[in-house]
Amino acid sequence: WIARDNAAVWHPFTQHATWIGDDPTVVERAEGPWLIDTDGRRHLDGVSSLWTTTLGHCHPDINAAIAAQLETLDHSTFLGTTHIPGIELSEALIALAPKGTGPDLTKVFYAGDGSSAVEAALKIAYQYSSQTGRARPTFVRLEHAYHGDTLGAVAVGGHDLFHATYRPLLLQTVGVPSPGDRSLGPDRLRIAIDALEATMREHGDQTCAIIVEPMMQGAAGMFDYDAEYLRAARRLADKYGALLIFDEVATGFGRTGKMWAAEHAGVVPDLLTCGKGITGGYLPLSAVLAAEHVYEAFLARPGDSGPRTFFHGHTYTANPLCCAAALANLRVMGEQDVIGQARRLGERLAKLLEPVGAMPGVTEIRRLGTMIGVEVAPSRDRTGFAVCQAARERGVWLRPLGDTVILMPPLTLAEPETDLLVNALAEAVAEVCE
Ligand code: PMP
């Protein structure tokens, strides 16, 4: 299989060696938190297959919901037609949407994955702003942000690795310091808020949106920050008439110990993007939750000169199988108090990780719920990668982001597997860093 893969397949983030190993593991089956390869070896999926499988793999209720949906409606375009799972899921998402300072989120626009939800949100914000009088709207983005790989999403990211090649193609943005950036020192929250204020004073009249990953910058290496920043961002967006976008693709659906990271701050954005855990990690689906005032700006009115329609939508938008999986996921989350489980798992992980934090070579452990980054001192070439390799030899899959090792297990991980996860990490750190 590996020879055939090498001959025919172009994987994301080629080559494998950059963060996995020389050859890909051939995964044949999965159950709960386990991935099982073609040699029958079991690997604990410590990062929920890129932060998605919140209930573990092959959950019987989600499997059954997809199978049942297959019997009735496989696919139908969402352009000019609708279907029951798409309507029911929109209602469920609106009912679950965060509440607090900011508008109610009352409309759901579907997309296919995290990047395309961000892309849709950016285009909505841009069109909204140009329709409300901003000549050349710009986006305010955070340094170290990650919002996806499509061109709009790359433009509002804060990672040169993703920018450098494509810079001439990217949207107009202004970068501001991140409140999670440790290199700014203990005053980082104040520095970041002051910088955002100064940026909005200068560019506010042409800012269409401020976009952030709320409470925790994920793919940059897990940089948590204070809820106060989100309250400041809401206040400044309102003051200057810009929209506020929360990208909850990574943080949504219980990952941080609440349904949405926004709930930690009691702040509601104008647009909220979500994906990953929405289907329990089964099928590609994402969504933009939008405030009514944003939606209304796209309704045609008598005397309009330009188009108000949002000319955007994809072939598989709101695919019924994806919506059915998402509805089953939300049902299980409610019935089994998965958010409570996630909170307890996060607390248990924090306790188990305390001795790891004290190990030589570990610089900092950053955590919000079950979103965890263990930063190791760069003692050799690609130390974080070496730690993940050593954990892999112990049957546990983790993922390095630079020298930060990511743990993002299923929210329902049982105690023995939680112990295995942390023990493998501790042994790997001891092997590599001491
Ligand atoms: N936004 C955030 C905050 C993410 O963490 C990610 C993926 N890591 C994305 C967007 C992009 O999602 P996808 O990979 O599904 O396109």
To test ligand 1's pocket by mutation, which of 49, 249, 274 has the most ligand atoms within 8 angstroms of CB?
A: 249
Question: pLDDT at position 84, please?
Answer: 98
Beta strands 207-212; 138-142: pairing state: parallel
**Is the distance from CB of 397 to CB of 50 less than 8 angstroms?**
no
Per-residue pLDDT reduced to its tens digit, 245-296: 999 999 999 999 999 999 999 999 999 999 999 999 989 999 999 999 999 9
**Is the distance from CB of 274 to CB of 259 less than 8 angstroms?**
no
421 lines ligand 1 (CB under 6 A): no
- Model confidence at 301, pLDDT cuts 50, 70, 90, reads confident
Centroid of ligand 1 to alpha carbon of 250 (angstroms): 6
To test ligand 1's pocket by mutation, which of 47, 52, 146 has the most ligand atoms within 8 angstroms of CB?
A: 146
The token pair that represents 84 in the structure block: 């029951």
Centroid of ligand 1 to alpha carbon of 344 (angstroms): 25
Domain that holds residue 362: 2-59+338-433
ipTM above 0.85, yes or no: yes
| Long-range contacts formed by 177-182: CB under 8 A, 24+ apart | 177/142, 177/143, 178/142, 178/143, 178/144, 178/145, 178/217, 178/220, 178/223, 178/225, 179/225, 179/226, 179/229, 180/144, 180/216, 180/217, 180/223, 180/224, 180/225, 181/143, 181/144, 181/223, 182/223, 182/364
Check pLDDT > 90 for residue 300: no
Which atom, in ligand 1's list, is nearest to the CA of 275?
15
pTM exceeding the 0.90 threshold for the entire prediction: yes
- Model confidence at 307, pLDDT cuts 50, 70, 90, reads low
Distance between CA atoms of residues 83 and 263, nearest Å: 30
252 lines ligand 1 (CB under 6 A): no
- 137 and 276 belong to one structural domain: yes
Centroid of ligand 1 to alpha carbon of 249 (angstroms): 6
- 113 and 257 belong to one structural domain: yes
- 216 and 272 belong to one structural domain: yes
The mean per-residue pLDDT over the stretch 214-230 comes to: 96
Centroid of ligand 1 to alpha carbon of 147 (angstroms): 5
- Per the DSSP assignment, residues forming a β-bridge with 173 are 139
Per-residue pLDDT reduced to its tens digit, 125-165: 999 998 877 877 899 999 999 999 999 999 999 988 878 88
Residue 399 is assigned to a ligand binding site? yes
Distance between CA atoms of residues 61 and 5, nearest Å: 32
Question: pLDDT at position 68, please?
Answer: 98
Q: Identify the H or E element spanning 189.
A: helix 188-203
- 395 and 310 belong to one structural domain: no
Give the CATH number, domain containing residue 76. 3.40.640.10
CA distances from 31 to 13, 63, 64, 192, 318 (A): 26, 12, 15, 43, 26
Centroid of ligand 1 to alpha carbon of 9 (angstroms): 22
Distance between CA atoms of residues 168 and 181, nearest Å: 27
- 38 and 151 belong to one structural domain: no
Distance between CA atoms of residues 342 and 359, nearest Å: 26
**Is the distance from CB of 114 to CB of 154 less than 8 angstroms?**
no
- 152 and 24 belong to one structural domain: no
Which atom, in ligand 1's list, is nearest to the CA of 116?
16
The mean per-residue pLDDT over the stretch 408-425 comes to: 98
Q: Whose alpha carbon is nearest atom 8 of ligand 1? A: 219
**Is the distance from CB of 334 to CB of 296 less than 8 angstroms?**
no
The token pair that represents 275 in the structure block: 């994906």
- Per the DSSP assignment, residues forming a β-bridge with 399 are 406
Distance between CA atoms of residues 57 and 115, nearest Å: 23
Q: Whose alpha carbon is nearest atom 7 of ligand 1? A: 148
Q: In this predicted model, which residue has the larger pLDDT, 244 or 129?
A: 244
Residue 314 is assigned to a ligand binding site? yes
The token pair that represents 81 in the structure block: 């037609």
Centroid of ligand 1 to alpha carbon of 424 (angstroms): 27
Which atom, in ligand 1's list, is nearest to the CA of 113?
15
Q: Number of folded domains in the chain?
A: 2
Per-residue pLDDT reduced to its tens digit, 335-382: 999 999 999 999 999 999 999 999 999 999 999 999 999 999 998 888
Pick from 284, 307, 335: which residue ends a domain? 335
- 138 and 44 belong to one structural domain: no
Distance between CA atoms of residues 122 and 155, nearest Å: 10
Centroid of ligand 1 to alpha carbon of 321 (angstroms): 21
Q: What residues have CB less than 8 Å from 82, skipping those under 6 apart?
A: none
Q: Which residues of 266-381 form beta strands (DSSP E)?
A: 271-274, 286-291, 362-368, 371-376
